[in-house]
Amino acid sequence: MKDFSPEYVFLFIFEDTFWRTLSPSHAITSTIIQEKNINIRPIFLMDENQIQQLIQILNFKEFHQYLVQLEKNKLNLGKNFHFSEEEYLEFILKQRSLVTRGKITQISEKLKSMELRSYGPYDFNKFVTLQNQVINSKFDGRRTRVREQKLFILGCWSKLLSDFQILKKSFRPELIMQNEMEKLLSIYSPEKGSQDLFSGSVNFPNFEKTLFINLKTIEVMRNDVESYGGNLVIVDAISNRIQKGRLPANLLSRVLEYYCIENKIGYIPLYEDLNIENSNGNKTSWAFDGHFNELGTQIFAESMYRWLQNKGVGASLNN
């Protein structure tokens, strides 16, 4: 970016962004068998003792206790968690209320004195070698090729099964809640046997720790962008295509919004526009990989343009 010195740098953030910061193989590669899993991204870490201080400020202890109670209910009652949609929404609002401007101010000040350390990517050269081998063999020296044709009926069948599950849940809302609780337990609950509420797990470190390290990376990026006269703008899509629980997504968006306000970083709640379209029955992403389709891309572009207009730069969208 420094070579171009842009006046505005828009950073798109979605749910998996936070976990990828701490895991060199999270997301797609996390489904690959271990011997073929290579670390192709750098990761960022901070001092554990300092992170513990930040955890005490934010104080999501009740969230972790909630997970422990869910685990107990699951063991005692099987898959029927006995949590209603209304109870869950009430709990989300209660946890969101814990995120205050005062707390984010304290966290921001402490983060400024903390050091962010980067590691890896350890297997990047191996990745480049393997990539070149595939290009020179299966791709005949080209970086692209026409996708092999497959029976479309196979894709239709899996799509029908997926749609059937969605339809089934619409008639049985308790299945939606059961699925939500399963997500929370599998992703955010402490390591089995751990006495530490905030321990997290191997694949998903502690929720707050992950949040703080991401905030620190945003701070570093903001300073880097400002060093050549630019302005960083966060584009938040976290609470749109939620795959890891509504409660965590809500908390992440609230913290991110307050952090940007506190640190004078531009902030666009893109998820609001996307959610409106989705609630009207308009899909904004492709079903097979979650990336924006044409409508999603248009909404993304217009949100950035409106933000620039409100800042007094750029022409009218009608021109």
- Interatomic CA distance for residues 188 and 15, integer angstroms: 14
Residues whose CB falls within 8 Å of the CB of residue 163, separated by 6 or more in sequence, listed in order = none
**φ and ψ at residue 84, rounded to 5 degrees:** -90, 165
Residues whose CB falls within 8 Å of the CB of residue 183, separated by 6 or more in sequence, listed in order = 243, 244, 245
| DSSP secondary structure of the chain | -TTT--SEEEEEE-HHHHHHTT-TT-GGGGGS-GGG----S-EEE--HHHHHHHHHHH--HHHHHHHHHHHHHHHHHTT-----HHHHHHHHHHHHTT--HHHHHHHHHHHHTSPPEEE--TTHHHHHHHHHHHHHHTTTT-S--PPPP--HHHHHHHHHHHHHHHHHHHH-HHHHHHHHHHHHHHHHSPPTT---TT---SSS--HHHHHHHHHHHHHHHHHHHHHTT-EEEEEE-TTTS-SS-HHHHHHHHHHHHHHHHHTT-EEE-HHHHHHHHHHTT---B-TTT--B-HHHHHHHHHHHHHHHHHTT-S--TT-
The pTM for the full model equals 0.84
Query: What was the pLDDT predicted at 17?
Result: 87
Query: What was the pLDDT predicted at 114?
Result: 95
Query: What was the pLDDT predicted at 108?
Result: 96
Residues whose CB falls within 8 Å of the CB of residue 82, separated by 6 or more in sequence, listed in order = 73
Each residue's pLDDT tens digit, 216-264? 999 999 999 999 899 999 999 999 989 889 999 999 999 999 999 999 9
Inter-residue contact 201 to 191 (CB < 8 Å): yes
Query: What was the pLDDT predicted at 151?
Result: 65
Task: Please identify which residue in the block is written with the tokens 């063999």.
Answer: 137
Each residue's pLDDT tens digit, 229-238? 999 999 999 9
Q: Would strands 43-45 and 8-13 be described as parallel, antiparallel, or unpaired?
A: unpaired
Residues of the chain with pLDDT under 70: 1-2, 25-35, 77-82, 150-173, 193, 195, 202-203, 312, 314-319
Query: What was the pLDDT predicted at 29?
Result: 46
Measured between alpha carbons, how far is residue 156 from residues 146, 150, 168, 313 in Å? 21, 12, 18, 46
